[in-house]
Structure 1
Amino acid sequence: MIKCFGITFSIHPLFTIVLILSIATGYMMEALTLFSIVLIHELGHVAAIRVFGWRLKVVRLLPFGGVAEVEESGNVPAWEELVVAIAGPAQHIWMIGFAWGMKVCGVFDPAWWDYFIEANLMLGLFNLLPILPLDGGRMMQCAVSYFLPFHQTIRVSIALSLILSAVVVGVAIHEIAAGRIQLSIAVVGVFLLVSNWYAWRQVPFHFLRFLAVRGERGTTFIHAGTLAQPIVVAKHRTIEQILKLLKRERYHLVYVVNESGKIQGVLPEQRLLYAFFYEKKQGSAVSELFM
């Protein structure tokens, strides 16, 4: 790990292998160019993170971009996360414009500027694919969170990422079989596939992180004033089942009804969170909170 300007950077082993192979095969300049582009891309994310005051843990550099790991998990507005995700690919726009200007002015070798522009286009467009942890995947997850409960948002976004990762691997294998070598794409596709398979197994952990900070988010909603979205459940539904219906961008009041449809009580979401974490009633029926 390298620490610079208060930011901890970590170079992923896959990126290290790519850089070493590039240098060993005589493509040192291309390798340094790729590293510089990825670094600037990630600094775009860092700048947005600093603007919003998020707590940055580490920046992991990958061959196709990077991953900025933060403390925040579902307790910030989705639009902030969307801006942070866009801030990375946005850097490729000015870099391409700069390279085109330098080429037109005849500064340095035009062939190198062509490579610089091509590398920016490839990295920028690849990062916009709706696959986690790519920026496009994070944008997709933010958009889905406006329509689906957060627990379902996690499952849907990771499932879609798994499918599209498999498609990337399949396309790369087809290209290799056709004699058009695309080994690098295959390696990245496998990396994304494995990453999302691991993320799928970690869905309960991601959901618990969301619930752990949900109380703070709910307090923010209340202080700012908000229209509550009702959740209507039968009295036998468990507290854990009801919490899986929480939406990221909504504050909820839970209406508990009996078999005849009569409302037995109304609970703010904080009451269920308290029962989940402090009273250890995850599997208890919500009706028990009235006893």
Structure 2
Amino acid sequence: MIKWRGIRWSIHPLFVIVMLASALTGYFAELLTLFIIVLVHELGHVIVARGFGWRIREVKLLPFGGVAEVEDAGGISAREDALVAIAGPLQNVWMGLLAWSLGALGIWDEDWGHYVAGANAMIALFNLLPIYPLDGGKLLQALLSYMFNYYRMLLITARISIALSIGMMTCAFLPLLMEGGGIQFNLLIVGTFLLMTNWTYHRHIPFLFYRFLTHRERMHDPEPELGRKVKPLIVNGKQSILSVAKLFSRDSYHLVYVIVPSASGLQVIPEGTIVEGCLSGRDPHRAVSELFG
């Protein structure tokens, strides 16, 4: 592990396994090339993220990219998340085109230029699969953020990622159906890693949601900023405070209109009151109407 510009950089054990396998089979040049491609891919993410002011604690390099540990992750906008996610594959685009051009011009061996270009294309396309924590999974999250509330976005992302991870593992066994085919162990290992990652991600959704609420509490102002997108929510006073919080969207400020049968008309409360009700240490499953008492 090394620390550079305030970020810890480490190699994931899965990458270590790939390195050892490559060294034992004599593919050292290919291994070094893969490492450089992955490093530049991840630097693309880091540079754009730092440009948005993100605080990145650690980056773990994987054979197909990396996983970044970001502070205040619950407060990142969908737009920034999408731009940072796409920055990695874009590095593979220019690296692939450069390698292909160097090979075509005779500066590099043509076969080697095609190999490096193909490796970049493979890493870029693989990363664009809609599986968390791949770049495509983060793009999926950003898209779902415009369609669903934050809690549902987490659930849908986890379920799609688990399903596709199982599909990837299944594809690893398809060659067995063909004459002379064998199990694709690389695909099986990566699919297993993604399945385990997303199974853990699914189990941690309550924690991730409360992290989102904690950020909303820190960023809450008594009055919403002028020009800020406001999304009204109409709820029943008998609903639990937590169930109302689960309706909050990622990039919107909410005014909550509460229908209380014993009162005339609607009672209006800002989202900060709901967030405080969830994080105050009292039962978040109590009725919203109790906030008026």
Instruction: Determine if the TM-score, normalized by the shorter chain, exceeds 0.5.
Output: yes
Segments of 4+ moved more than 4 angstroms: 259-262
Residue 196 of structure 1 corresponds to 198
Q: Is the 8 A contact 2:86 2:135 kept in 1?
A: yes
Q: 1:221: Cα distance to partner?
A: 8.6
Match of 1:269, as an amino acid? E
What does 1:21-32 align with in structure 2 at a 5 Å threshold? 21-32=21-32
Residue 70 of structure 1 corresponds to 70
RMSD across aligned C-alpha pairs, in angstroms? Answer: 1.8
Residue 187 of structure 2 corresponds to 185
Q: 1:259: Cα distance to partner?
A: 4.4
Q: Is the 8 A contact 2:6 2:57 kept in 1?
A: no
Return the alpha-carbon distance in structure 1 between the equivalents of residues 12 and 107 of structure 2.
Answer: 33
Question: How far does the alpha carbon of each residue in 1:231-281 deviate from its partner, in whole angstroms, 9 at most, with x for none?
Answer: 111111111111001001111111111349953411100011122212524
What does 1:90-169 align with in structure 2 at a 5 Å threshold? 90-169=90-169
Match of 1:139, as an amino acid? L
Q: 1:74: Cα distance to partner?
A: 2.9
TM-score (norm 2): 0.94
Match of 2:76, as an amino acid? V
Question: How far does the alpha carbon of each residue in 1:65-114 deviate from its partner, in whole angstroms, 9 at most, with x for none?
Answer: 11111112231221011100000011011001110121122123222212
Q: Is the 8 A contact 2:99 2:116 kept in 1?
A: yes
Q: Secondary structure at the match of 1:231?
A: strand
Residue 15 of structure 2 corresponds to 15
Return the alpha-carbon distance in structure 1 between the equivalents of residues 223 and 97 of structure 2.
Answer: 41
Residue 38 of structure 1 corresponds to 38
Q: Is the 8 A contact 1:176 1:183 kept in 2?
A: no
**Is 1:86 aligned to 2:86, yes or no?**
yes
Return the alpha-carbon distance in structure 2 between the equivalents of residues 183 and 262 of structure 1.
Answer: 66
Return the alpha-carbon distance in structure 1 between the equivalents of residues 215 and 9 of structure 2.
Answer: 26
Q: Is the 8 A contact 1:40 1:91 kept in 2?
A: yes
Q: 1:217: Cα distance to partner?
A: 4.2
Return the alpha-carbon distance in structure 2 between the equivalents of residues 217 and 127 of structure 1.
Answer: 32
Q: Secondary structure at the match of 1:133?
A: coil
Q: Secondary structure at the match of 1:172?
A: helix
Q: 1:225: Cα distance to partner?
A: 2.7
Cα 1:34/1:160, change in 2 over 3 Å: same
Return the alpha-carbon distance in structure 1 between the equivalents of residues 74 and 157 of structure 2.
Answer: 14
Q: 1:5: Cα distance to partner?
A: 3.8
Cα 1:266/1:221, change in 2 over 3 Å: closer
Return the alpha-carbon distance in structure 1 between the equivalents of residues 222 and 25 of structure 2.
Answer: 55
Cα 1:220/1:284, change in 2 over 3 Å: closer
Range that drifts further, 68-77 or 212-221: 212-221
Q: Is the 8 A contact 1:158 1:200 kept in 2?
A: yes
Return the alpha-carbon distance in structure 1 between the equivalents of residues 278 and 97 of structure 2.
Answer: 52
TM-score (norm 1): 0.95
**Is 1:173 aligned to 2:169, yes or no?**
no
